[in-house]
Amino acid sequence: MNPWEKDPGWQYLRLTREQMLKEQSTPYNAKKNVWIPDVEEGFLGGEIVTKKGDVCIVKIGDKEVSVKKDLVTEMNPPKYEKTEDMSNLTFLNDASVLHNLRSRYGAMLIYHHFFLLPIFL
């Protein structure tokens, strides 16, 4: 355990190494894992089953959905799950940003971004 992990506020900023390894070990296929738009959730994660012209068949849970190819967006690899710095995401799109913020919020991890401002005396 790192010394800073003993700080009681640490749990709201970052996952432990063990938690990160567990989060980042989910199966992933860069060519198949995608986000599709959803009216209620914003975006849903799924896996492309087939592509036919400009339509993709995407499996979400137990059901398959037909979606226009233009509406399908890439999903980031699990190594970016609950990332602290979203500028490092492989695919910086609306679905990925929303998912990262939502998953961090659900895990009680605040999103912070520090800006260094020049101080003039």
CATH number of the domain that residue 52 is part of? 2.30.30.360
CA–CA gap between residue 18 and residue 25 (Å, rounded)? 11
pLDDT of residue 29: 93
How many domains does one find in the chain?
A: 2
How far, in Å, are 19, 34, 61 from residue 78 at the CA level? Answer: 13, 12, 18
- This prediction has a pTM of 0.74
DSSP 8: T
Q: Answer yes or no: is 108 within a domain.
A: yes
pLDDT of residue 17: 74
Q: 90, 76 in Cβ contact below 8 A?
A: yes
pLDDT in tens, 63-82: 999 999 999 999 999 988 88
- Regarding whether 37 and 22 lie in a shared domain, the answer is no
- Regarding whether 40 and 18 lie in a shared domain, the answer is no
pLDDT of residue 117: 44
Residues of the chain with pLDDT under 50: 114-121
DSSP 26: S
Q: Answer yes or no: is 105 within a domain.
A: yes
Q: Answer yes or no: is 2 within a domain.
A: no
CA–CA gap between residue 112 and residue 103 (Å, rounded)? 14
Q: What is the dihedral of CA 90, 24, 20, 99, to 10 degrees?
A: 60
